[in-house]
């Protein structure tokens, strides 16, 4: 009852709030089932907001309650201050309208059935963790172009059960746990124990080390993610729970840190990453071992800087909120299908 009363008060307050004066950039949301996409729908709207759009999403009290009390990240569209208006406002003729029919959750359909060719389609690329945008930690302008540490950095959760799920999908990637065990067996492996340990690494700038920040040993603070990533030349991209894509590859790319990534993972980035230009791509663990031993740390500083520039340009052109919104709008005008990731639900379509 308490939740119902609180929801009702919030709903009435939003409905009675002053009607916004609409500018030139307006997004009208006409979505019946945003829950299908959970966090990725919040990210879609957030990108439009970051890009300077006023967002209008008229809704009933029933939908308001459903969205507000469901997926915690999707709920940000209503709990985040000034993200959108739920009033039934009629915009002028110059607005962008999005509907369920324009979007599809079959995100990996092209990869498995059409040789990964985008035919009259656009795949909205992976993004940072939702909290990075919600807390405004996504654009800290901390890119470091000089004197990066010539080592590999990796951070995140390496749970030995959750990250085995991807083995039951159609993807042929080395799962996160296997990658972790592979690096853990190497003499160059270093597990960060605390902030002081990380500070020492950043100060000493070791060469050829594999430096891991494991969530249950030293959880890298979210507001330090970009700054820490910007200190290293290379970042190891580990697959997500049920798909290769994971938010931390985008966080690394955003500061020009070169991703070390398995080929199938690189192929489901849109557009795909290119070996030697904006990524170091390996085929399997044997190939990775050879790259680590004979190639990676011998790349000159000038060549690493060129790669870093390409990585950062890739982010600017394809992954920044403004570039994503621009690409969505162009494809909406052409009538293309917009593929929006739905994670587990996207994987279920494959079955």
The per-residue pLDDT for range 23-33, each reduced to its tens digit, is 889 999 999 99
Say how far residue 135 (Cα) sits from the centre of its chain: 15
pLDDT for the residue numbered 170: 87
pLDDT for the residue numbered 90: 85
Q: Which two tokens stand for residue 200?
A: 């020492």
pLDDT for the residue numbered 116: 75
**pLDDT tens, 136-155?**
999 988 887 788 999 999 99
Stronger pLDDT, 200 or 1, i.e. the higher one: 200
Mean pLDDT of the residues in the chain: 94
Give the number of other CB atoms < 10 A from CB of residue 156.
20
> Which CATH number is 134-319's, of 3.10.20.30, 3.40.50.2000, 3.40.630.30, 3.40.30.10?
3.40.50.2000
Beta bridge partner(s), residue 103: 338
pLDDT for the residue numbered 347: 92
pLDDT for the residue numbered 276: 96
CA distance 321 to 126: 11
Domain ranges of the chain: 2-126+322-350, 134-319
175 pLDDT exceeds 90?
yes
pLDDT for the residue numbered 179: 97
Output DSSP code: residue 275: B
Query: What would the mean pLDDT of 108-135 be, rounded to a whole number?
Result: 89
Q: Which two tokens stand for residue 249?
A: 């590859």
CA distance 285 to 263: 12
Which range, of 78-82, 87-91, 178-182, averages the lowest pLDDT? 87-91
* pLDDT confidence tier of residue 351, bands split at 50, 70 and 90: low
């Amino acid at each position: 009852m308490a939740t119902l009363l609180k929801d009702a008060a919030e709903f009435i307050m939003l409905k009675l709030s002053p009607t916004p004066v609409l500018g030139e950039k307006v997004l009208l949301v006409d979505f019946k089932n945003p829950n299908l996409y959970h966090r990725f729908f919040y990210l879609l709207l957030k990108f439009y907001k970051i890009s300077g759009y006023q967002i209008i999403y008229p809704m009933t009290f029933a939908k308001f309650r459903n969205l507000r009390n469901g997926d915690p990240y999707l709920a940000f569209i209503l709990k985040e201050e000034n993200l959108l208006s739920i009033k039934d406002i009629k915009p002028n003729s110059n607005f962008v309208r999005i509907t369920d029919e324009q979007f599809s959750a079959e995100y990996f359909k092209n990869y498995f059935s059409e040789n990964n060719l985008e035919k009259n389609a656009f795949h909205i690329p992976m993004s940072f963790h939702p909290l990075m945008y919600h807390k405004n930690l996504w654009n800290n302008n901390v890119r470091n172009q000089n004197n990066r540490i010539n080592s590999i950095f990796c951070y995140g959760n390496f749970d030995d059960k959750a990250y085995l799920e991807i083995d039951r999908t159609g993807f042929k990637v080395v799962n996160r746990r296997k990658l972790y065990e592979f690096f853990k067996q190497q003499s160059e492996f270093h597990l960060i124990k605390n902030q002081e340990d990380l500070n020492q690494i950043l100060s000493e700038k070791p060469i050829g080390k594999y430096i891991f920040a494991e969530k249950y040993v030293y959880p890298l603070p979210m507001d330090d993610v970009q700054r820490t990533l910007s200190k290293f030349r290379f970042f190891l991209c580990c697959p997500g729970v049920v798909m290769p894509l994971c938010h931390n590859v985008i966080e690394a790319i955003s500061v020009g840190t070169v991703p070390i990534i398995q080929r199938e993972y690189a192929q489901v980035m849109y557009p795909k990453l290119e070996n030697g230009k904006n990524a170091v791509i390996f085929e399997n663990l044997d190939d990775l071992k050879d790259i680590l031993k004979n190639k990676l740390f011998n790349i000159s500083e000038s060549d690493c800087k060129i790669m870093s520039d390409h990585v950062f340009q890739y982010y600017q052109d394809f992954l920044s909120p403004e570039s994503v919104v621009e690409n969505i709008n162009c494809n909406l005008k052409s009538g293309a299908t917009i593929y929006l990731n739905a994670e587990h639900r996207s994987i279920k379509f494959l079955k």
